[in-house]
Structure formats: C-alpha cells, structure tokens
Amino acid sequence: MDEGIMSTIIKFKNITKVYQVGDEQVHALDGISMQIQKNEYVAIMGPSGSGKSTMMNIVGCLDTPTSGLYELNGTNVSDMDDDDLAKIRNKEIGFVFQTFNLLARSDVLHNVELPLIYGGIGSAERRKLARAAIERVGLTDRIHHKPNELSGGQRQRVAVARALVTQPAILLADEPTGNLDTKTGDEIMMLFDTLHKEGNTIILVTHEEDIAIHAHRRVRLRDGKIENDEMVKNRRIIK
C-alpha cells in the first residue's frame, strides 16, 4: 500500500443523513464525499442548519449515516451496531463539546478517568494516564474539584483532557469556544494548536472565522452539501 492510503483516517463516500419530520424528509447531509489525512487540522464551517453537527456526529460514530460508506482508519463503520460503535468512540475518538458535558457529580480526576474505565484499563494505569492528561491541560492543582467549582475555560480543559486520555485517532470539537469568552476561547485554541503540533488529527466545527483561522483546511457546508473545501494559507498564530 502506498503512503497516501496509509495515512487516510477518515473516508466519506456519498454520505447522506435523512431525518423524517412529520411528512417531510430533511436531508441534513446530502451526498458528502471527502477524506481527511492523519495530522490534518480541519475546520468545518457553514451557517446554522447546514449539517455541521450531523456530520460531526457521524464522524464521531455517535450516529450512523442513512446511506453511503464511512471508513475510519480503514474499517467500514457505516453499519456497525451500537456496542461496536461505542468501542470505536472509546478508542478512536475524543470529543470536546460546546457545553463541556462533564459529569457534574464527579471530580476532575474521575471525569478524565471515565473513558479508561469503559476501555477496561486497570486502575493503576488509569490513574497514571489520567494524571498525565490533566497535567497536559494544566489543571493538576484542581484534580479533586467538581465541575461547578471550575471556570468555563477550566471545564473545557477538563473535557480536552478527557478527550486526550485514550490517545484517540481524532479529536472532534463541536463549537468548543461557543460558551467561552474570547480570552479563554483563545487559550483553548492555543491548546488545540499545540496538540496538533504534537501529531494529533483535529476536526473543529465552528461558524466563527476567528476560530476557523487556526485550522489548515476549511470545509464549508451549505444545505448538507460541501460548498467549498480549501487549504488555508495565512494561518493565525497566537503568540
């Protein structure tokens, strides 16, 4: 096999997602074909309702397409069952959500450990990996705090640590700065930039140009179709 195929992480072939709303069919994704290579930094953009989140959910194996083929790391995941998808989500995907989605009753350490528990990692190893991921996002001094004892930016860092801890193939972030002010938003984006430099593959959903400018590649959606797919020349680098 040649180098190009080896490094393809995501391969979409004519993916559609159709929702039945009453008598009407909503084509949230309407024939998407694209590929994403290892260590790419992609921003998925488009107006509200264009299908960004739907695409993200399918990439992240939270949802399955109505039709089309999705290969993740060379494995066809388009028609896997729930539990197989759960396994893929656990091992290959790291999610960062707009609303953080941390477990409110658990402290930072436990939130970050959780994917490892579901991954069947023994407790000593688990603790070590979780602490490393927390250190990675700079929250070692908050390790036993509950989410409601943290600021928004800190919560999102915990979410990033949780996404990183299993060393997934892709980091998926759906509007990660949507609930943060500009300054903390920038801090989170700096974190993503660093993670990208360290070799991670990152896919970012956003409708803000300021945020999208961090990525190397921009995919614009409109009405469930790809309108535009371009490499970015003048990336913004935060000092």
Say how many CA atoms lie within 13 Å of 24 toward its Cβ: 4
Say how many CA atoms lie within 13 Å of 151 toward its Cβ: 10
Q: Rule CB under 5 A: is residue 200 a binding residue for Mg ion?
A: no
Nearest in space to 35 (alpha carbons), one of 201, 167, 184: 201
Give every CB contact of residue 6 below 8 A, 6+ residues apart in sequence: none
**Nearest distance, CB of residue 101 and Mg ion, angstroms:** 14
Identified binder of ligand ADP from the candidate list 1, 3, 21, 81, rule CB under 6 A: 21
Residues 6, 7, 12: CA angle, nearest 5 degrees: 100
**Nearest distance, CB of residue 216 and other proteins, angstroms:** 26
Using CB under 5 A as the binding rule, the residues of this chain from 45 to 64 that contact Mg ion are 53
Residues near other proteins (CB under 8 A) are 57, 60, 62-63, 82-83, 86-87, 89-91, 95, 97, 101-103, 105-106, 114-115, 117-120, 122-123, 162
Which C-beta is closer to other proteins: that of 104 or that of 238?
104
Question: Which one of other proteins, ligand ADP, Mg ion, none is in contact with 64 (Cβ closer than 5 to 8 A by kind)?
Answer: none
Identified binder of ligand ADP from the candidate list 13, 16, 26, 119, rule CB under 6 A: 26
CA 121 to CA 99: how far, in whole Å?
27
Identity of the amino acid at 78: S
**Nearest distance, CB of residue 206 and other proteins, angstroms:** 18
CA 188 to CA 205: how far, in whole Å?
14
Residues in contact with ligand ADP by the rule CB under 6 A: 19, 21, 26, 28, 46, 48-54
